[in-house]
Amino acid sequence: MNAPLPFDREALRRAAGEIVANVTELAARGWTPATSSNFSRRIDAQHAAITVSGRDKGRLTEDDIMVVDLEGQPVATDRKSSAETLLHTQLYKRFPEVGCILHTHSQNQTIASRLFAGAGHMRLDGYELLKAFSGNDTHEAEIVVPVLPNSQDMHTLAAQVDALLDRRPMWGYLIDGHGLYAWGTDMAEARRHLEAFEFLIGCELELRKLQR
Ligand SMILES: CSC[C@@H](O)[C@@H](O)C(=O)COP(=O)(O)O
Ligand SMILES: [Zn+2]
């Protein structure tokens, strides 16, 4: 007889359905080109559902979702989880309230990451849409989006993210030449944050063009 699974199969099924439905819509916007991007959803205190590495996110199915523990190790499968699994599990480990993490590679996100890499951050202020970020109730706010140097070593990237989180709370960051990570307590909040980042980053890029 097979050993019992250490997570609830129904919780995985719900998370996988939610990931597939949302990622299909995000991919249709062109935010996940060429198999890029990865997505996860917490299923309990010790496990998260996450995309299998290298899958076409525009054609994702529930079979492309697997389970990892919060050390980033596969659970009850020999499939390989996202190459960036550690960037997900570090947030689940650190914040019990984080329930969903969305990573995309839109053109706006990638261009902005290059443009603001020198400064190390991008400032978003004066926009009504800043109220889309949980905890903000006015346009008279400022969100600083950090831009981290890219690395293929996830331990290096995760250490940079931890150092930033030690300084102040945030709902997302850019990686230079790479893309955006955004998160929230559940899929709806993470998606609202992702969409707000994408919209505001797009506004800043357009403003720069007009001001030239
Ligand atoms: C196809 S290049 C993009 C990858 O290197 C990576 O950044 C990415 O977002 C997707 O990797 P994955 O392993 O499929 O989760
Ligand atoms: Zn990526």
Is 121 flagged in the annotation as binding? no
Nearest C-alpha to atom 6 of ligand 1 is from which residue?
36
pLDDT, tens digit, for every residue of 84-117? 999 999 999 999 999 999 999 999 999 999 999 9
CA of 130 to the centre of ligand 2 (A): 25
Q: 212: pLDDT confidence band, cut at 50, 70 and 90?
A: confident
pLDDT, tens digit, for every residue of 166-195? 999 999 999 999 999 999 999 999 999 999
Considering the segment(s) 9-211 as one domain, its CATH architecture is 3-Layer(aba) Sandwich (3.40)
- Ligand 1 atom showing the smallest separation from residue 55 Cα: 14
Write down the mean pLDDT value for the chain: 98
Question: Is the pLDDT confidence value at 1 over 70?
Answer: no
Is 0.90 exceeded by the ipTM? yes
Residue 209 structure tokens? 């063009």
Which amino acid makes up residue 76?
Answer: A
DSSP bridge partners of 142: 125
pLDDT, tens digit, for every residue of 108-167? 999 999 999 999 999 999 999 999 999 999 999 999 999 999 999 999 999 999 999 999
Ligand nearest to the CA of 152: 1
- Ligand 1 atom showing the smallest separation from residue 80 Cα: 13
Is 103 flagged in the annotation as binding? yes
- Give the pLDDT of residue 2: 75
- Give the pLDDT of residue 3: 82
pLDDT, tens digit, for every residue of 26-71? 999 999 999 999 999 999 999 999 999 999 999 999 999 999 999 9
DSSP bridge partners of 122: 145
State pTM to two decimals: 0.98
Ligand nearest to the CA of 51: 1
1 against 138, higher pLDDT: 138
Non-local (6+) Cβ contacts of 168 within 8 A are none
Ligand 1-lining residues (CB < 6 angstroms): 34-38, 51, 53-54, 82-84, 103
Question: Is the pLDDT confidence value at 20 over 80?
Answer: yes
CA of 196 to the centre of ligand 2 (A): 19
- Give the pLDDT of residue 12: 98
Non-local (6+) Cβ contacts of 21 within 8 A are none
